[in-house]
Amino acid sequence: MRILIAIPVYNEERYVTKVLEQVRHYSSDILVIDDGSTDQTPMLLAQQPVDVIRHAVNRGYGQSMGDAFRWSSCYGYDWVITMDCDEQHEPASLPMFFDAIKKDDADIISGSRYMSDSRSEDLPPADRRHINQIITKQVNEVLDLKLTDGFCGFKAYRVSAMNKLKLTEQGYAFPLQFWVQAVANELVIREVPISLIYNDPNRSFGGPLNDAEKRLEHYRQVFAKELKQHADRFGCADLCSCNGHS
């Protein structure tokens, strides 16, 4: 069983060295996707024994995820675990994902910061928590899921299952396209509890998405668009309900 740890980064000079040193305690198969960092991140990555994909300019979180999936498939990995590089995802949780992978009963093992046995270290900013709740509820209702956290990036993915998806969303709305395609392709989804940690409440989404209402509307638009691409799977009623405000 070959497992790749894939870590998207953007201007993470504050954390990248420490996080990678911790991850290396658990795996030597590490890919970092540097999404056009303009700080010291590229120089720090050059000092680490990891593979790096470097974007010349910032292309977005979804693009970095797609790169991770393509790399893992190209190099023959069975699973890819994605995690952030800002110390909000604890490398110490990796063995839990390894154990869940060994059970071989899921295609997606999704970390959740809001399960009953998740440990809460910090509270996320109110607008992020509110949007997460709204969108997760909507995703569950339309796709008949029982997610507790629709946006967590700490996940394990079966590579052969990812090869079935056609993911094109480049930005932060990537999860909305992903969940629709995962359900449309009948992938098995499990959640596992992880710690809820927020080190930077002022972290930017970039441009208009820094406005909470615009960000929420953008997520809804991406979700609705993807559902229309799979109208034969989800039906007209679901397409209508996804445009409503909850």
pLDDT of residue 198: 58
- 193-204 average pLDDT score: 70
Q: Sort 33 into a burial class: Cβ within 10 Å, 0-12 / 13-18 / 19+.
A: buried
Write the pLDDT tens digit of every residue in 18-32: 999 999 999 999 999
Nearest in space to 205 (alpha carbons), one of 120, 154, 131: 131
Instruction: Report helix, strand and coil shares of the chain as percent, to nearest 5.
Output: 45, 15, 40
pLDDT of residue 118: 56
Write the pLDDT tens digit of every residue in 109-151: 999 988 866 555 555 556 778 898 999 999 999 999 999 999 9
Domains, in order of start, for the chain: 3-128+147-204 (3.90.550.10)
Cα 117 from chain centroid (whole Å)? 20
Which residue in the block uniquely carries the two structure tokens 């991406």? 222
Give the C-alpha separation, 127 to 136, whole Å.
Answer: 14
Q: How many CA atoms lie within 13 A of 188 on its CB side?
A: 9
Write the pLDDT tens digit of every residue in 77-119: 999 999 999 878 999 999 999 999 999 999 999 999 888 665 5
Q: Say if residue 233's pLDDT is above 90.
A: no
Q: Say if residue 232's pLDDT is above 90.
A: no
What percent of the chain lies above the pLDDT cut of 90? 76
- Residues near 74 by beta carbon (within 8 Å), at least 6 away in sequence: none
